[in-house]
Amino acid sequence: MIASSPPSRDSVTVPTVVPATGGRGQAFIAAASGDLAAAGYEQSEFFISGTATAYQSAQPLTADGNWSVDPATTAPYKTRAIVRRPTDPAKFNGNVIVEWLNVSGGLDAAPDWTYTHVELIREGYAWVGLSAQVVGIDGGPSMGLVAGYTLKAADPERYGSLVHPGDQYSYDMYTQTGAAAWFANDVLLGGLQPQRVISIGESQSAFRLTTYVNAIGPNTDVWDGYLIHSRGNAGAALNVDVKMPADQRIRTDLNVPVLQFLSETDMLGKGLNFVGARQPDTDMIRSWEVAGTAHADAYNLGIGDTDNGDGAADAALFQAMLTPPASIYGGLLSCSVPINAGPHTYVLRSALHSLDQWIRTGEAPASRPLLNIKDGAFVLGGIGDNATGGIRTPQVDVPVATLSGLGQTGSAFCGLFGTTVPVDENQLAQVLPVDPPGASAHESFVTAWKKGLVSAVEQGDILQVDADHILAAAENSTVLVYWNPKG
């Protein structure tokens, strides 16, 4: 195991970290965390406080991300962080993930915990979720999935003392939380000693990390790497009076790895359109564009909430391609057509694993192919007309459904959820080779999925342990079991 060098204690501001108490006696956050105790994990909550700095730029910010920013105003703050970590210190792998909690729905949520927690737990990561933005604490402009669930509204006695001075201070609050993982770990991490501290954020949080790596990244050595998950073509505001450029790329002079993960929705979806911000890979930048995926999907909108890694959720996600849901959380939100049930979670877990290996060894993962886009649209092909190019999985190459990140209508949130349209079994059966000789249609289907999974594992796009569960789901499915070639 190669340990990264911790930052210089004199180069960072370490905030005050104290256990959270009061109110209902438990942390409030959207979505379930599963049975942490059964997984050998425990959850704690902390209040983090200090003085944060906002930043300004004397020069217009450019699309290449090569920015020079200066400290501006300062303000006191008090926020909260949730920590999930192995109960047994011997199972800690040395990695601390700090997720910038997402507030698109009007409350703190942890989509990256949901998407990756199976990998985090089986490998022994510690996870920190930070309430970095005003909306999660006090409310304010958001897409507003639900009302009345800011921290102060949900538990005023517990969270009433929190103070957020404004999102222009969120960047330094985030840096200080990373510093706390290094230098206040006796409290924050229960004494676990980190060897690598990794930044991660999805959707709106990824917009903020895009700005963060360009504005703050070169000036801090807190982070060993960044996973920017489902961003658009521009970063979030640096400060209220700083104009942000469109088609914003990641600066190329960073000395730690940046892995960008993009779904189909992120590439061409309304308000996202990352395609304009594409840039060549460098020694420190990789971008993964994943066919058949949406910004959010059936896994992180329900199935993943109770995934304990035993294969049951993998079977449920496979089934969701055959009988896709059009609503989430008991009808809290209903969409016009069924939502995406693609392989997003599996490829993201492998992306995190690849970033970890990149940090440990200094060897970047191989560059991945880009999604094929022409005249502002995906180039489609094969059975089901799935997107071509990009990272491939059997979900799109031997499809039981057309999986898209686009095509959804209805509320603004539904537009992020993509679509799933089951494929006619007759179409699939006609193109499947009989393999092995004399095999039934279902056996041939399973063989094709196995070959696709072997390829995905060899490419580093799906982890072997996940491939085993996906294959079991295909084997136990009813796909082509009852197909009658004379029917």
Residue 33: which pLDDT band, with cuts at 50, 70 and 90?
Answer: confident
Residue 151 has pLDDT above 50, yes or no: yes
Select the more confidently predicted residue: 384 or 212. 212
For the chain, domains (ranges, CATH) are 9-361 (3.40.50), 373-475 (no CATH)
pLDDT computed for residue 158 by the predictor? 97
| Percentage of residues in the chain having pLDDT higher than 70 | 97
pLDDT band at 1 (very low <50, low <70, confident <90, very high): very low
pLDDT of residue 355: 98
Q: What percent of the chain has pLDDT over 90?
A: 88
d(Cα 94, Cα 86) in Å, to the nearest integer? 11
The model's pLDDT over 437-465, given as tens digits with 9 standing for 90+, comes to 999 999 999 999 999 999 999 999 999 99
Quick one: which of 125, 124, 119 has its CA closest to 97? Answer: 125
**H/E element, 72:** strand 70-86
Beta bridge partners of residue 127, listed in sequence order = 84, 97
Confidence of residue 2 (pLDDT cuts 50, 70, 90): very low
Identify the CA nearest to 96 among candidates 4, 229, 34: 4
Residue 301 has pLDDT above 80, yes or no: yes
pLDDT at 413 over 90: no
SS3 351: helix
Structure confidence by residue, pLDDT tens digits, 219-273: 999 999 999 999 999 999 999 888 999 999 999 999 999 999 999 999 999 889 9
* Mean pLDDT, rounded, for 150-161: 95
Contact 225, 199 (CB under 8 A): yes
Can you say whether residue 474 is alpha, beta or left, with left for phi > 0 and alpha for psi between -120 and 50 degrees?
alpha
| pLDDT above 90 (res 332) | no
What is the model's pLDDT at position 4? 65
Q: Helices 441-459 and 464-475 sit at what angle, rounded to 10 degrees?
A: 170
**Burial label, 154 (beta-carbon count in 10 A; 0-12, 13-18, 19+):** middle
> Is cis: bond before 436, omega within 30 of 0?
yes
Is 3 a residue whose pLDDT tops 50?
Answer: no
State CA 120 to chain mean position distance: 12
Q: What is the 3 state secondary structure string of 139-187?
A: CCCCCCCCCCCCHHHHCHHHHCCCECCCHHHHHHHHHHHHHHHHHCHHH
The mean of the pLDDT values for the chain is 94
At 178-228, the pLDDT tens digits run 999 999 999 999 999 999 999 999 999 999 999 999 999 999 999 999 999
Which pLDDT value is given to residue 143?
Answer: 54
For residue 487, pLDDT beyond 80: no
Residues 423 and 399: beta-carbon distance below 8 Å: yes
Could you give phi then psi for residue 54, rounded to 5 degrees? -95, 165
- Spell 225-254 as b/e; 16+ CB within 10 A means b: bbbbbbbbbbbbebbeebebbeebbbbeeb
Give mean pLDDT, residues 32-59.
95
CA angle 378, 391, 248 (to 5 degrees): 65
Band (pLDDT 50/70/90 cuts) for residue 30 is confident
Nearest to 301 by CA among 336, 271, 341, 264: 341
- Binned at pLDDT 50, 70 and 90, residue 146 comes out as low
| Per-position DSSP letters for 213-260, written without gaps between them | HHHTGGG----SEEEEES--SSPPPSSTT-PPPSSPPPPTT-SS-EEE
**Residue 363's pLDDT is what?**
96
Residues 253 and 217: beta-carbon distance below 8 Å = no
CB neighbours of residue 421 within 10 Å = 17
- Using the Cα atoms of residue 201, residue 57, residue 54 and residue 182 in order, give the sign of their dihedral: positive
The encoded tokens of residue 142 equal 């958001």
At residue 397, the pLDDT reads 97
- Which of 200, 253, 189, 251 is closest to 224 using CA atoms? 200
Q: Quick one: average pLDDT of 336-353?
A: 97
Mean pLDDT over 47-64 rounds to 96
Q: What is the mean pLDDT of residues 389-408?
A: 97
